[in-house]
Amino acid sequence: MSEDATPLERFIRGIIPENPVYRQLLGLCPTLAVTNNMKAAMTMSGAVLFVLVGANLVVSLIRGLLKPHLRILIFTLTIATFVTIADRFLAAFMYPMSKELGPYVPLIIVNCIIICRCEVCASRQSPAAALGDALGQSLGFALALASIATVREILGSGTWLGIRILPAGWDNWVIMVLPGGAFLTMGLLLGIANWLGTVRRNPKATE
């Protein structure tokens, strides 16, 4: 990664070229765990957006003061604070969703996308670059979760964002709302994403 990218370039890079889920294979625990419906996936994405933006900005602002051997401790401390705020916010204003997500909200603390962005970007770049990076990576994460949740919710419940899409006679594929469906969907979508990437880079490779 070039060190002189503009904040806008960093933003765009996070969405597809360096998508945290499909390209970096990071943050797979929430990707698998909360994508059985769109609402949960979008709430998780929103929480990750808040935490990543907050942590990246704070780390970027104090980057000149970081001691190499204490930096991970400071990243974790910062991330944990923002995660706790997000967790309490959900419990206060989105209580049923907070119950549904359960421990996955506090588990954002160990989501490696965030500590990875703090390490590779925020601890070395200006707040503007760190903000662009955080927004791009969060959007990339949200897109990845949305793609998996769309497949799982439509096939598993016949709905999308709670709205009925498939006719009432549709037999729900129960496997899709269970963990097995998460692995199947993610594996297939990851395969498609990689295949498309290969075709674009080298059109002859598939012949």
Partner 1 sequence: MKMKYISEAWLVLLLATVFALALAAVDLAWKDRIEENKRRETIGQIPHLVPGAVTGKKDFVGKVFVYRALDSKGRQVGWVLPAVGQGFADKIELLIGLDSKAEHITGLYVLEQKETPGLGATIVAAQWRKQFAGKPATVPLHVSKAATGENEIQAVTGATISSESVVSIVNEAVGGFRRALEVSGR
Binding window for partner 1 (CB under 8 A); candidates: 64-72, 122-130, 136-144, 146-154: 64-72
Q: What is the DSSP letter of 137?
A: H
70 binding partner 1? (CB under 8 A): yes
Say if residues 159 and 45 touch (Cβ distance below 8 Å).
Answer: no
Please give the sequence-ordered ranges of beta strands (E in DSSP) within 19-164, or none if there are none. 159-160, 163-164
DSSP string, 3-55: TT--HHHHHHHHHTTT-TTTTT---HHHHHHS-SSHHHHHHHHHHHHHHHHHH
67 binding partner 1? (CB under 8 A): yes
Q: Which residues pair with 164 in a beta bridge?
A: 159
73 binding partner 1? (CB under 8 A): yes
68 binding partner 1? (CB under 8 A): no
Binding window for partner 1 (CB under 8 A); candidates: 41-49, 96-104, 141-149, 164-172: 96-104
84 binding partner 1? (CB under 8 A): yes
Q: Count residues binding partner 1 (CB under 8 A).
A: 24
Give which of 176, 178, 146 is closest to 158, Cα–Cα.
176
Minimum CB–partner distance for residue 32 and partner 1 (Å): 10
Site residues (CB under 8 A) for partner 1?
A: 33, 62, 65-67, 70, 73-74, 77-78, 81, 84-85, 88-89, 91-93, 95, 102-104, 106, 179
